[in-house]
């Protein structure tokens, strides 16, 4: 642009900005668009660093920390120690939240048998998941530094135990954008009772707010206040949004604040969602066989089954990151009843999701992750010693289990192992940062290059650690 062109544009800007009414605003907005300076869509699709294996992520977050030794990591040696304390030499370095190192061992009553052609040993509480064992990459050697729920969840999803950082879904949508025009790029669905981390598990932190997770309800209006109040037509709402968009565009030009672009995008997305979100919740075109496979029409599976089916429908529509939060697996007491209840809710829908994605050709491009923030101790927690059925387990970050399936992951394998008592990892340690790096790798992103400058330095999901776990990859 030469000097004469620049002076002409500046003169036109000055004229239009001083014009009263909608004509001046509309003309200014048109001028900004012609100049290529209008607010851009923060969720526009972006190129990955390299060819991806996965396009979308469904993270099944089992909030509260499921017991690995009752579900995924059989420890028959605990029978020998059942009811007795372990030697101090084995427990002296444990980080424990509520019990003492002298707590008695609690053997698992669960039966483990091989599943699938791979022979993966899974608990009798997971009869449906065992039917898709050959799709799973089961990691028995996860570890974390955090041994309380909120810090553990922050570390899992933000890479750090402090508040204010972007979560995994926010990083993914920041790095890749979203292929969905009418739904958020990062969607959160909830079920169960109780929560620890809450919105900290899906916040955008210091990233623009467009990258935060949007919580959708699985009944009624998907988002509260999404429907227009009585007397407001779509035409009048559209006109109002156009005026607000133009004003916001002017303000962004004056300040350069990228959060204003997020605000414009959020208003427009909410308008489009008024049509798209109710259609998303309409299962009338799903076959009866599909609904039955998920367990949508019965209890206790209905809430979680609905969310799993919605997750599949979302990735079909281009949503980049779907997070299902089911609470709570925090079984400090009555662990046997608690596990039976939660597995009864989640096992069938989880297996159905894997099968449904596969039969629709979506599993190869959708990465599914299942897990909690840490595991449980081999020692018992007895909050009511007089009640034999009251036993539970404390928090255990030193060696827990998690599985992945789908896009870029080699199924039918077990990675890592813990010692015979489940106290410590003895093979192939996988840190939370390694998991994060691997998830990003499957999506075609180098975790060391996915950064955002904030307060004078570059931040990333994996903080200052993380290595891609090559054994996981197909």
| pTM score | 0.85
- For residue 452, the model assigns a pLDDT of 96
More confident residue, 463 or 256: 463
pLDDT tens digits for range 269-314: 665 666 667 788 899 999 999 999 999 999 999 999 999 999 999 9
- For residue 441, the model assigns a pLDDT of 98
pLDDT tens digits for range 413-424: 999 999 999 999
Q: Are 61 and 371 a contacting pair, CB within 8 Å? A: yes
Q: Are 48 and 174 a contacting pair, CB within 8 Å? A: no
Work out the average pLDDT over 156-164.
Answer: 95
Whole-number Cα distances in Å, 394 to 33, 39, 344, 400, 430: 58, 50, 22, 13, 21
At residue 474, does pLDDT exceed 80? Answer: yes
**Lowest-pLDDT range of 88-92, 249-253, 389-393:** 249-253
* Calpha distance 472→430 (Å, rounded): 11
- For residue 24, the model assigns a pLDDT of 44
At residue 10, does pLDDT exceed 60? Answer: no
- For residue 227, the model assigns a pLDDT of 63
Q: What is the DSSP letter of 135?
A: G
Whole-number Cα distances in Å, 411 to 119, 122, 143, 403: 12, 15, 21, 10
Counts of helices then strands in the chain (DSSP H, E): 13, 17
467's tokens: 């290595």
DSSP reduced 3-state for 265: helix
DSSP reduced 3-state for 122: strand
384 confidence band (pLDDT: 50, 70, 90): confident
301's tokens: 């599976």
pLDDT tens digits for range 210-258: 999 999 876 666 665 566 666 666 666 666 666 766 777 677 677 767 6
User: In 135-274, where do the E strands start and end?
Assistant: 136-143, 186-192, 214-215
Whole-number Cα distances in Å, 28 to 10, 34, 153, 240, 245: 11, 10, 46, 17, 12
At residue 348, does pLDDT exceed 90? Answer: yes
Taking CB atoms within 8 Å and a gap of at least 24, the contacts of 26-31 are 26/246, 28/246, 28/250, 29/245, 29/246, 29/249, 29/250
Q: Are 404 and 437 a contacting pair, CB within 8 Å? A: no
* Calpha distance 438→410 (Å, rounded): 12
* Calpha distance 235→357 (Å, rounded): 38
- For residue 193, the model assigns a pLDDT of 86
- For residue 55, the model assigns a pLDDT of 98
- Looking at domain 56-219+285-472, does it have CATH number 3.40.720.10? yes
Q: Are 410 and 474 a contacting pair, CB within 8 Å? A: yes
> What does the domain layout of the chain look like in residue ranges?
56-219+285-472, 234-280
Residue 121 pairs in a beta bridge with 114
Say how many CA atoms lie within 13 Å of 434 toward its Cβ.
17
pLDDT tens digits for range 29-63: 444 443 333 447 889 999 999 999 999 999 999 99
């Amino acid at each position: 642009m030469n000097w004469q062109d620049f002076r002409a544009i500046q003169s036109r800007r000055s004229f239009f900005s001083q014009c009263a009414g909608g004509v001046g605003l509309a003309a200014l907005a048109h001028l900004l668009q012609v100049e290529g300076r209008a607010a851009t869509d923060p969720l526009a699709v972006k190129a990955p660093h390299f060819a991806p294996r996965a396009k979308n992520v469904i993270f099944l977050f089992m909030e509260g920390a499921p017991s690995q030794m009752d579900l995924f990591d059989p420890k028959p040696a605990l029978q020998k120690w059942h009811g007795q304390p372990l030697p101090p030499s084995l427990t002296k370095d444990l980080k424990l939240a509520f019990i003492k190192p002298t707590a008695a061992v609690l053997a698992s009553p669960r039966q483990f048998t091989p599943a699938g052609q791979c022979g993966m040993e899974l608990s009798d509480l997971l009869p449906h998941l065992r039917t898709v064992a050959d799709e799973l990459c089961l990691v028995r050697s996860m570890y974390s530094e955090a041994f309380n729920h909120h810090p553990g969840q922050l570390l899992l999803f933000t890479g750090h135990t402090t508040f204010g950082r972007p979560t995994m879904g926010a990083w993914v949508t920041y790095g890749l954008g979203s292929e969905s025009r009418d739904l958020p790029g990062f969607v959160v669905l909830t079920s169960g009772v109780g929560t620890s981390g809450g919105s900290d598990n899906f916040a955008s932190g210091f990233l623009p707010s467009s990258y935060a997770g949007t919580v959708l309800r699985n009944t009624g209006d998907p988002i509260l206040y999404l429907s227009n109040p009585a007397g407001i037509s779509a035409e009048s709402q559209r006109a109002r949004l156009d005026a607000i968009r133009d004003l916001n565009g002017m303000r962004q030009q004056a300040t350069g604040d990228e959060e204003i672009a997020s605000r414009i995008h959020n208003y427009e997305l909410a308008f489009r969602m008024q049509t798209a979100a109710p259609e998303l919740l309409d299962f009338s075109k799903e076959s009866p066989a599909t609904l039955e496979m998920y367990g949508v029409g019965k209890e206790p599976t209905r809430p979680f089954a609905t969310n799993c089916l919605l997750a599949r429908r979302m990735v079909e529509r281009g949503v980049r990151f779907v997070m299902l939060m089911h609470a709570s697996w925090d079984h400090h007491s009555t662990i046997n009843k608690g596990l039976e209840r939660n597995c009864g809710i989640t096992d069938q829908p989880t297996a159905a999701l894997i099968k449904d994605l596969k039969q629709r050709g979506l599993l190869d491009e959708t990465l599914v992750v299942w897990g909690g923030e840490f595991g449980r101790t081999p020692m018992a927690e007895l909050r009511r010693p007089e009640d034999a059925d009251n036993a539970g387990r404390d928090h255990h970050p030193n060696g827990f289990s998690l599985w992945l399936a789908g896009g870029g992951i080699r199924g039918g394998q077990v990675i890592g192992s813990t010692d015979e008592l489940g106290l410590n990892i003895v093979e192939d340690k996988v840190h939370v940062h390694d998991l994060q790096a691997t998830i990003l790798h499957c999506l075609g992103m180098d975790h060391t290059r996915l950064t955002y400058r904030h307060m004078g330095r570059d931040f990333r999901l994996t903080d200052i650690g993380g290595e891609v776990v090559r054994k996981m990859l197909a």
